[in-house]
Every structure is written in structure tokens, then in C-alpha cells.
């Protein structure tokens, strides 16, 4: 019984780290040093990370690879504007879409509509009239989030 709980926990952590890809993070090491940079990728087996455009106490670097055994914590300084669950609810309300045609992928913080239109913090991927209507809702949603 303990094994499935551990697997779920590992999956949750991996899901959360996936949401941090391409975000600015602070990685604190067990020795007290820290690095600030964009999370480029990570190894889900070792929790090693690769940061880009890195700043640290000792200088600036293009890339830094940090072994998972040296990491004490990963901190996100800013909350992302896009929330997939919230946006999916907005789509159902604003476009009167059937809930069965909208899927939320929390592991990548994205919404899939009719299995052909993808919406994430990066924008709307897809074509056609519905994609344009979703894009209009997306633009308005992001602007309202920026205003607070």
C-alpha cells in the first residue's frame, strides 16, 4: 500500500516541476549557495536540473547543471498568470461549450478543446473560427490577470 502513495507523490512533484519549465526560479543548494535562472529541463529520476541565463553570487552563466543531490529547494518568485482550471471554467461559461469537449492537463498547465486546440500560458495553438474565439477569450483573460 505504501508504494502507490509514493508513486503518486513522485508524480505530483514531477507535475509541479513540469509547470516550472521556462520559468525563472531560485535553486538553493544544501551548502547555502543559490542560483537564479530559467529552468530549462530536469531529470525526473535524479531531480537534477539545468538552468539557463543564470545569476549567482559568483557570477553570470549561460547554463548551469545542478545534481539533484545538491538541491535543498526550488523557489518560484512569481505566480504564473495562466491557470488551466480557471481558464477551462471561463471557456465553458463564455463560449457555452460542453464540459465534455474541454480537458485540463494539470501536469503541463494546459487546456485542450475538441482534442485539436491547445491553450497554455504560451497562447492558443490551433486554427479556425473556434480557435479565434478562444484566442479572444484568452487575450481578455490574460489582460485581466495582468491588471489584477
Whole-Å CA distances, 147 to 11, 30, 52, 124, 140: 34, 38, 29, 21, 11
Q: Are residues 29 and 72 in the same domain?
A: yes
Half-sphere exposure of 115 (CA within 13 A, CB side): 1
pLDDT in the model for residue 1: 40
Q: Are residues 119 and 138 in the same domain?
A: yes
Q: Are residues 66 and 94 in the same domain?
A: no
With a cut of 50, which residues of the chain have pLDDT below it? 1-8
Instruction: Give the residue numbers spanning the domain of 114.
Output: 84-147
Count Cβ atoms below 10 Å from residue 148 Cβ, excluding itself.
Answer: 4
Among 27, 43, 76, the domain boundary falls at: 76
pLDDT in the model for residue 2: 40
CB-CB contact of 51 with 38 (8 Å): yes
Among 76, 104, 126, the domain boundary falls at: 76
SS3 84: helix
Q: How many domains does the chain have?
A: 2
Q: What is the CATH number of the domain that holds 134?
A: 3.30.310.60
pLDDT in the model for residue 23: 86
Name the phi and psi angles at 131, rounded to 5.
-60, -40
Q: Are residues 40 and 23 in the same domain?
A: yes
Q: Say what percent of the chain tops pLDDT 70.
A: 93
Among 41, 59, 76, the domain boundary falls at: 76
Q: Are residues 69 and 91 in the same domain?
A: no
Q: Are residues 45 and 110 in the same domain?
A: no
Q: Are residues 102 and 118 in the same domain?
A: yes
Whole-Å CA distances, 130 to 9, 125, 142: 37, 11, 18
State pLDDT tens for residues 103-113.
Answer: 999 878 899 99
Q: Are residues 16 and 50 in the same domain?
A: yes
Amino acid at each position: 500500500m505504501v508504494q502507490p502513495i509514493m508513486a503518486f507523490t513522485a508524480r505530483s512533484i514531477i507535475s509541479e516541476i513540469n509547470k516550472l519549465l521556462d520559468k525563472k526560479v531560485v535553486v538553493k543548494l544544501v551548502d547555502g549557495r543559490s542560483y537564479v535562472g530559467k529552468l530549462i529541463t530536469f531529470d525526473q529520476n535524479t531531480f537534477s536540473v539545468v538552468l539557463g541565463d543564470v545569476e549567482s553570487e559568483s557570477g553570470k552563466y549561460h547554463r548551469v547543471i545542478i545534481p539533484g543531490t545538491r538541491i535543498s529547494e526550488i523557489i518560484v518568485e512569481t505566480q504564473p498568470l495562466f491557470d488551466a482550471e480557471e481558464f477551462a471554467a471561463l471557456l465553458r461559461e463564455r463560449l457555452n461549450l460542453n464540459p465534455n469537449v474541454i480537458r485540463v492537463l494539470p501536469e503541463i498547465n494546459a487546456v485542450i478543446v475538441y482534442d485539436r486546440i491547445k491553450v497554455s500560458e504560451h497562447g492558443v495553438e490551433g486554427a479556425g473560427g473556434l480557435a479565434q474565439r478562444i484566442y479572444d477569450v484568452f487575450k481578455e483573460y490574460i489582460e485581466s490577470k495582468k491588471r489584477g
